Amino acid sequence: MLDSPPPPDGAPRRKLYIETVGCQMNVLDTELVVARLHHEGYELTDRIEDADTILFNTCSVRQHAEDKIYSALGRLKRIKQRRPEVQIGVLGCMAQKDQTLILRRAPHVDLVVGPGQIARVPELLAQARAERSPQLAVSLARNAGSRSTVTQSFESYDPDREPSLRPSPFQAFVRVMMGCDKFCTFCIVPTVRGPEQSRPPEQILLEARQLIDQGVLEITLLGQTVNSYKSRDAGGRLWRLSDLLAALHDLNGLARLKFITNYPTDMTDDLLQAVRDLPRVSRYLHVPAQHGDDDILRRMKRNYSVAYYEEMLQRIRQTIPGASVSSDFIVGFCGETEDQFERSVALVERARFKNSFIFKYSSRPGTKADSLFADDVPEPVKRRRNNDLLSVQTRISHELNRALIGQTVEVLVEGPSQRAGKGISLDSSPILQLTGRTTCDRIVVFSGHQRLVGRLVSVRIQQATPVTLFGEILTIHSQPSSDRRRLPALPVVES
């Protein structure tokens, strides 16, 4: 982390502890909050007992994530009794969903801030101190009167970021849109993150340029349904995600470009062709299917059938040979019979996803499914179905990985592998177990010099587990970060 400026009023630096749960959007929001607080003279600590400001950036997609935060808050009650000056804040989706309920269940909380008001955290902390009362900020800053998904602007604070909180110094997230308009019946996200709004392309390109100038080599574009991205530039031209990828691809110094998460019915041919034709774009598509049964998909309000989903998969595989696809599945959705569950198993068997994230259905107050259907699959059945589906997926992931043994893949080196062990110091032992990813998002572990971190290398695969490939380095490619000429002007895109 950069040295923080001294606090404006000459007071001692405040120490911030922040914990993040949930998706990559939250990881990015935390980066933004910390950057803002850093400007105010706060410094980060990873010891909660040393902190005088304790923040939780929360998730409400499943009940379990919320329970963990409430019990963490419960444990902080004593700290607050002993040291009343300690400030405790709940940020993000659970703050938006539960609002004053948080203050009722945990009256020692000073701050409840929804995702739309994250940029105001420093101001709200100061206000809570001055007024000695809890602050609640949960406006979603909707574009009043507009139902269009093509929005010109919303306040952007994304360029103000804290590099030390990125996945690594050369990997960064860039938000291309906020919110979601799909309203799948099981999902709380549209309620807590608000309507879909795409950021103007100029803002995104500017932010990407700044990140590349700071040494970022890999950018992952984030959106709840990232492939629904649509925005007009200042000249009035309409940009789709494919246009954005093409423009970002031309930025010198960028080695890899990814985007998550895709919605099946927005997987248009122009996007697939962009992934095929732009070599720096990862050949990896995360497109959640959620279920393998048409009746359940209808009750989930996913707006597609299993046949449609499989045709889309076929289009992906015809257009982008070798692309990997991953999915999300929910097991134990309201009324799910054994036969219906078996249809999810059959879809996983046929689709041969690189991997799937599998979740037990968790009823979310405020969603359509919660009010319309009974959460009637017993917990042990949900657990068994989760394990069964996971074991099928794990076997397929292993088969796909084993098929790569003997092949050479290009890997962007991310850093020392966790398997390298904690005792190894970067300075004293330059040859490490390194880890990185292929363009298809497969994890590769191999031995190499620490200097290779942030470089593209060719690795021959020798062994495979369901989640990891192991190999040896063959070639080291030229360093993308040294290739930083003047950045091109904004390209012209046809509407």
Are residues 490 and 247 in contact, defined by beta-carbon separation less than 8 angstroms?
yes
Binding mask 246-275 for ligand F3S (x = CB under 6 A): -----------------x------------
Q: Which of 351, 355, 360 is nearest to 384 (CA)?
A: 360
Q: Compute the least distance from the CB of residue 145 to ligand F3S, in Å.
A: 23
Q: What residues contact residue 229 under an 8 Å CB cut-off, 6+ apart?
A: 176, 177, 198, 223, 239, 240, 241, 244
Residue given tokens 């420093």 in the structure block: 122
Residues in 269-298 at the binding interface with ligand SAH, rule: CB under 6 A: 288, 290
> Residue 296 carries which DSSP code?
H
Query: Three-class SS of residue 20?
Result: strand
Residues in 311-340 at the binding interface with ligand SAH, rule: CB under 6 A: 328, 330
Q: Which does 93 bind (CB under 5 to 8 A by kind): ligand SAH, ligand F3S, none?
A: none
Q: Compute the least distance from the CB of residue 359 to ligand SAH, in Å.
A: 4
Structure tokens at 365: 């107050």
Residues in 203-222 at the binding interface with ligand SAH, rule: CB under 6 A: none
Q: Which does 190 bind (CB under 5 to 8 A by kind): ligand SAH, ligand F3S, none?
A: ligand F3S
Using CA atoms, how far apart are residues 173 and 397, in angstroms rounded to an integer? Answer: 26
Does position 135 interact with ligand F3S (CB under 6 A)? The reply is no
Using CA atoms, how far apart are residues 432 and 421, in angstroms rounded to an integer? Answer: 10
- Cα 379 from chain centroid? 28
Q: Compute the least distance from the CB of residue 114 to ligand SAH, in Å.
A: 17
Does position 187 interact with ligand F3S (CB under 6 A)? The reply is yes
Name which position in 13, 15, 39, 62 contacts ligand SAH (CB under 6 A): 62
Structure tokens at 294: 């048409």
Q: Compute the least distance from the CB of residue 15 to ligand F3S, in Å.
A: 35
Taking CB atoms within 8 Å and a gap of at least 24, the contacts of 373-380 are 373/185, 373/299, 373/334, 373/335, 374/334, 374/335, 375/334, 376/334, 376/335, 377/332, 377/333, 377/334, 377/335, 377/336
Residues in 200-229 at the binding interface with ligand F3S, rule: CB under 6 A: 224-225
Residues in 239-268 at the binding interface with ligand SAH, rule: CB under 6 A: 261
Q: What residues contact residue 245 under an 8 Å CB cut-off, 6+ apart?
A: 257, 259, 271, 274, 275, 278, 281
Helix ranges (DSSP H) in 214-337: 241-249, 269-277, 294-300, 306-319
Are residues 223 and 176 in contact, defined by beta-carbon separation less than 8 angstroms?
yes
* Piece in contact with ligand F3S (CB under 6 A), picked from 167-175, 186-194, 212-220, 232-240: 186-194
Q: Compute the least distance from the CB of residue 475 to ligand SAH, in Å.
A: 35
Does position 184 interact with ligand F3S (CB under 6 A)? The reply is yes
Name which position in 186, 239, 309, 341 contacts ligand SAH (CB under 6 A): 186
Q: Where are the beta strands (DSSP E) in 336-492?
A: 355-360, 408-416, 431-438, 443-449, 456-464, 468-476
Q: Which does 361 bind (CB under 5 to 8 A by kind): ligand SAH, ligand F3S, none?
A: ligand SAH
* Piece in contact with ligand F3S (CB under 6 A), picked from 2-10, 175-183, 208-216, 341-349: 175-183
Q: Compute the least distance from the CB of residue 333 to ligand SAH, in Å.
A: 8
Does position 359 interact with ligand SAH (CB under 6 A)? The reply is yes
Does position 228 interact with ligand SAH (CB under 6 A)? The reply is no
Binding site for ligand F3S (CB under 6 A): 180, 182-184, 187, 189-190, 224-225, 263
Site of interaction with ligand SAH (CB under 6 A): 23, 61-62, 186-187, 189, 224-225, 261, 288, 290, 328, 330, 359, 361-362, 364
